[in-house]
């Protein structure tokens, strides 16, 4: 396990985590003394945020709302959305929703009054600044986008997911209100929760793991492992929602300094080729990438198993293997398919999937065990069931 001491982390300027904290957000925005607010959200949240919008309007703040982002956004989705927003020219951009909505809000804030064009800053560290205030409010417990410097878009030109990574994409203000997640359906709760678990696990077992980030990653795994099943099966269980929301937030903090690895890289083609949701794609691959990685990070995966509630065995390899079974049992208990076959991914697609996964070197380089194209094929075959 390679350990580097180079730690660089960009925290949001202000973070509020509390049940019911959405009720305080209007006063926060008014305190910024701005005149125009743009809100990116989704249709199902319109009622939940109606009071917030009214408070802003009553305070003399003009509000423009967009609900056009309903799945993982493309470059063209972003460009289409930017046209009315640029005309409105808000002072603050507020994202209230899942990861796709938050990613779009981050990019809208970056693009307003920016001489750079989007394609000029696709990649790592190419965005030169952001002139508009940015507030993020997650409504799912999964992506951790509210705490990360990352935004992901699908490129219409080649149908590949592209990452925009910059400290300027870290929000100024973050409000995490776990009560917002209560209305999230079981299937989405499950997939986003496993996504958050994957963020924590891939950071913890990462080739470039950091002791400071390990603390967050371990606690995130512990919280999600203990509470995700209850959050899925009893959606109105406030304690479970709160614990999973905290686990997701901790996973988000892992994304900037350490980031994800093989699971995410191999999941990208499932999204681009078969339009499977990001969280589901990760869940389908997680146990199989774990099995592949254990020989190169046995002690770390044994610690993962203990974080997930497994008993420590005399041998790390045995403990680590129990962790894989525990993950499979969590996935099954949450009602998520365990094999690619169950979601109708055809075996003949595997070579192309492996070719596409190899393009995601920015994540593959983090994996504790090197993954070649042939290795990717073997992992996909194992995941077929």
- What is the spatial order of strands in the sheet that 161-165 belongs to? 123-124, 161-165, 150-154
Instruction: Give residue-wise pLDDT tens across range 312-338.
Output: 999 999 999 999 999 999 999 999 999
Average the pLDDT over 183-205 and give the result.
96
Bridge-partner residues for 66, per DSSP? 40
Between these two residues, 1 and 95, which has the higher pLDDT value?
Answer: 95
Exposed (0-12), middle (13-18) or buried (19+): which is 381, by Cβ within 10 Å? middle
Average the pLDDT over 363-375 and give the result.
98
Handedness of CA 276, 304, 242, 199 (dihedral sign): negative
- Kindly report the pTM of this predicted structure: 0.94
Close Cβ partners of 229 (under 8 Å, ≥ 6 residues apart): 330, 333, 334
Looking up tokens 């190419």 gives: 126
Q: DSSP characters for 263-274?
A: HHHHHHHHHHHH
Residues 220 and 167: their CA atoms lie apart, in Å, by 22
Tokens of 341: 């076959």
Q: Can you tell me whether residue 39 is helix, strand or coil?
A: strand
pLDDT, mean over the chain: 95
In the chain the domains, ranked by start, together with CATH numbers, are 14-181 (3.40.50.1970), 185-384 (1.20.1090.10)
Instruction: Give residue-wise pLDDT tens across range 140-156.
Output: 998 899 999 999 998 98
Residue 5: pLDDT band by 50, 70, 90 thresholds?
low
Bridge-partner residues for 63, per DSSP? 37
Looking up tokens 């592949």 gives: 292
pLDDT of res. 1: 47
Between these two residues, 245 and 9, which has the higher pLDDT value?
Answer: 245
Q: Give the distance from CA 340 to its chain's centroid.
A: 21
Q: What is the C-alpha R_g of the chain?
A: 20
Residues 99 and 195: their CA atoms lie apart, in Å, by 11
Residues 325 and 310: their CA atoms lie apart, in Å, by 10
Average the pLDDT over 63-70 and give the result.
94
> Count of residues for the chain?
385
Exposed (0-12), middle (13-18) or buried (19+): which is 157, by Cβ within 10 Å? exposed
Contact at 8 Å (CB) between 135 and 31?
A: no
Q: Can you tell me whether residue 205 is helix, strand or coil?
A: coil
Residues 19 and 175: their CA atoms lie apart, in Å, by 10
Instruction: Give residue-wise pLDDT tens across range 215-226.
Output: 999 999 999 999
Average the pLDDT over 112-131 and give the result.
95
DSSP state of 163: E
pLDDT of res. 321: 98
pLDDT of res. 70: 86
What percentage of the chain exceeds 70 in pLDDT? 99
182: left (phi > 0), else alpha (psi -120 to 50), else beta?
alpha
């Amino acid at each position: 396990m390679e350990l580097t001491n180079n730690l660089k982390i960009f925290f949001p300027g202000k973070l509020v985590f509390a049940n019911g904290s959405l009720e305080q957000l209007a006063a926060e925005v008014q305190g910024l003394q701005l005149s125009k607010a743009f809100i990116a959200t989704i249709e199902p949240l319109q009622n939940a945020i109606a009071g917030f919008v009214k408070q802003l309007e009553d305070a003399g703040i003009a509000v423009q709302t967009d609900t056009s982002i309903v799945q993982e956004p493309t470059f063209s989705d972003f460009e289409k959305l930017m046209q009315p927003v640029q005309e409105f020219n808000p002072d603050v951009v507020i994202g209230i929703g899942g990861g796709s909505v938050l990613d779009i809000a981050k990019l809208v804030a970056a693009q307003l009054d920016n001489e750079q064009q989007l394609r000029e800053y696709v990649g790592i560290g190419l965005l030169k600044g952001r002139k508009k205030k940015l507030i993020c409010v997650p409504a799912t417990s999964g992506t951790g986008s509210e705490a990360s410097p990352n935004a992901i878009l699908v490129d219409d030109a080649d149908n590949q997911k592209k990452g925009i990574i910059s400290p300027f994409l870290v929000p100024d203000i973050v409000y995490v209100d776990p009560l917002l997640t209560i209305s999230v359906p079981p299937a989405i709760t499950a997939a986003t929760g496993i996504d958050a678990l994957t963020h924590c696990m891939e950071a913890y077992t990462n080739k470039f793991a950091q002791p400071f980030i390990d603390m967050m990653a371990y606690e995130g795994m512990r919280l999600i492992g203990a509470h995700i099943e209850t959050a899925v099966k009893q959606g109105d269980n406030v304690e479970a929602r709160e614990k999973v929301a905290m686990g997701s937030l901790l996973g988000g903090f892992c994304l900037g300094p350490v980031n994800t690895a093989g699971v995410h890289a191999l999941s990208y083609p499932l999204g681009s080729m078969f339009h499977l949701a990001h969280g589901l794609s990760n869940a389908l691959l997680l146990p199989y990438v774990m099995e592949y990685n254990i020989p190169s990070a046995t002690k770390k995966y044994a610690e993962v198993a203990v974080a997930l509630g497994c008993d420590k065995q005399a041998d790390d390899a045995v403990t680590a293997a129990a962790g894989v079974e525990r993950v499979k049992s969590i996935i099954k208990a949450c009602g998520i398919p365990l094999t690619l076959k169950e979601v109708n991914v055809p075996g003949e697609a595997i070579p192309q999937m492996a070719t596409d996964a190899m393009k995601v070197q920015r994540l593959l380089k983090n994996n504790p065990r090197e993954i070649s194209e042939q290795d990717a094929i073997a992992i996909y075959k194992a995941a077929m069931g």
